[in-house]
Amino acid sequence: MAGSVTFDRVGIIGLGYVGIPLSLRISEVGKTVLGFDIDPGRVAELNAGKSAIKHIPDAEIAAMRAAGFEATTDFSRAGECDALVICVPTPLNKFREPDLSFIVATMDTIAPYLRKGQMISLESTTWPGTTDEVLKPYLDAAGLTVGEDVFLVYSPEREDPGNAHFTTRTIPKVVGGHTPACLAAGVALYEAFIDRVVPVSSTRLAELVKLLENIQRSVNIGLMNEMKVVADAMGLNLFEAVDAAATKPFGFTPYYPGPGIGGHCIPIDPFYLTWKAREYGLHTRFIELAGEINAGMPQYVVDKIVRALNEEGKSLKGAKVLALGIAYKRDVDDMRESPSVFVMEHLRDWGAEVAYSDPNVPVFPKMRQHKFDLASVDLTPESVASYDAVVLLTDHSGFDYDMIRQHARLLVDTRGKYREDGANLRRA
């Protein structure tokens, strides 16, 4: 039954890092995509054929637009869509609790326009039970029987911006349905534009799958950050050790330490499970430990600078420190949860005079919780040599690493870029 359902007109709610690539892919297979966003600027930009995301060229947006894509802030048009796919953010509030307000606001807004025959798919990362406990009541209240009148599925996004090997199409997509008919409908939708769809037994299970992926990453990075502290104390270079361990052809996966973890997923998602587990009287101790160790790394980096300057009889207070790389990972311009910003704040708190250089971030952007009135410093032998300390935080490929090594008076390397030197720290 549901297997023969086709969803020709697909609404994508939330036009960001997940919704835009998804719209592009759905449009490619000839379906009509209607994009919804609450940001009129974003909507106007897309309708003008402009990309809002650095790694997606304008030409792709323009081509999608020519193929019938339209963006709108008018959520009453939800009724026009055969399927509605929700790709809105799920952050944490300041008490590190799940903030589902974007999902709830979406459902509040579209509820009056839901109709028989539609499918609702949630793609936002969230705790197991969200689809059943938060979304389904809206459908019940609308008098729509889930699995008969409407289909409800959860299918976690797995976008990896900047991944050169995999695209939206070639990353397998997990789908869980509220009923078997929902699952069949969900598989039918996604199979139309994703090479491999992986059905699982429930929406809750699909919700857990996504959390597991990011929990494993957070814990493994946390483990390597703890090992970094131990290796440093022993005078050993952990980057060299991880590289050597990675020559084992089975049973070891290389993860590297760093100045902390950033981005919109790894620092946040694991705590969705922590929060839900409390309802069952359970603690998620690996998640808590990883969170604590990863969050402590920016201060660990600053301590290194303090000690290194101290050996020269200098204090950090009054010292000039240059932070290299402030985006959260190599070769992106995304600043969300970037540990570089925490390092810079600690440095400022210690009284250092902070500057930064990042080829992808010419001016320090407006951020909700962080403020620096700074622009990126041009890297020249003279400018590099003018700082008391230089700290490599994000290893963009655009940096001239030889020049930096040659001219920095004190260089702290948090990324193992100079691992062949053996040391994490070098002096001119």
Residues catalogued as catalytic: 265
CB 395, CB 417: distance < 8 Å:
yes
* 204 touches a copy of itself by CB under 8 A: yes
User: Does residue 286 touch a copy of itself according to CB under 8 A?
Assistant: yes
Can you tell me which of 44, 59, 230, 375 binds a copy of itself, judged by CB under 8 A? Answer: 230
Q: At what angle do helices 203-234 and 238-245 cross, to 10 degrees?
A: 130
Contact 206, 156 (CB under 8 A): yes
Nearer to a copy of itself, 216 or 299 (CB): 216
Stretch binding a copy of itself (CB under 8 A), from 31-39, 68-76, 207-215, 330-338: 207-215
Tell me the C-alpha to C-alpha distance, in Å, between residue 306 and each of 188, 248, 309, 407.
Answer: 58, 37, 5, 20
CA–CA distance, 77 with 97 (Å, rounded to integer): 32
Q: Is 307 in the site for a copy of itself (CB under 8 A)?
A: no
Q: Does 164 bind a copy of itself (CB under 8 A)?
A: no
Residues 260-279 that bind a copy of itself (CB under 8 A): 273, 276-277
Kindly identify the residues of this chain, within the stretch 405-424, that bind a copy of itself according to CB under 8 A: 422
In the sheet with 173-177, reading across from the earlier edge strand, the strands are 70-72, 32-36, 9-13, 83-86, 119-122, 151-154, 173-177, 197-200
The reply on whether position 116 binds a copy of itself by CB under 8 A is no
CB-based contact 20:42 (threshold 8 Å):
no
Q: Please say which residue, 192 or 236, places its beta carbon nearer to a copy of itself.
A: 236
CA 12 vs. chain centroid, Å, equals: 19
Q: Could you tell me how far CA 239 lies from the centroid of its own chain?
A: 24
- Between CA 242 and CA 237 the distance in angstroms is 9
> Number of helices and strands (H, E) in the chain?
14, 13
Among positions 125-144, residues that touch a copy of itself (CB under 8 A) are 128-129
**Interface with a copy of itself, residue 304, by CB under 8 A:** no
What is the total count of residues that contact a copy of itself (CB under 8 A)? 65
Angle of the 285-311 helix axis to the 270-278 helix axis, nearest 10: 130
> Given the complex with a copy of itself, which of 41 and 281 has the nearer CB atom?
281
CB 377, min distance to a copy of itself, A:
33
Backbone angles phi, psi at 79, to 5 degrees: -65, -20
Residue 92 found at the interface with a copy of itself (CB under 8 A) = no
User: Which C-beta is closer to a copy of itself: that of 143 or that of 251?
Assistant: 251
Q: Of residues 5-44, which lie at the interface with a copy of itself (CB under 8 A)?
A: none
Residues that bind a copy of itself (CB under 8 A): 128-129, 158, 160, 163, 165-166, 170-172, 174, 196, 198, 200-202, 204-206, 208-209, 212-213, 215-217, 219-220, 222-223, 226-227, 229-231, 233-238, 240-242, 244-245, 247-253, 273, 276-277, 280-282, 284-286, 289, 293, 422
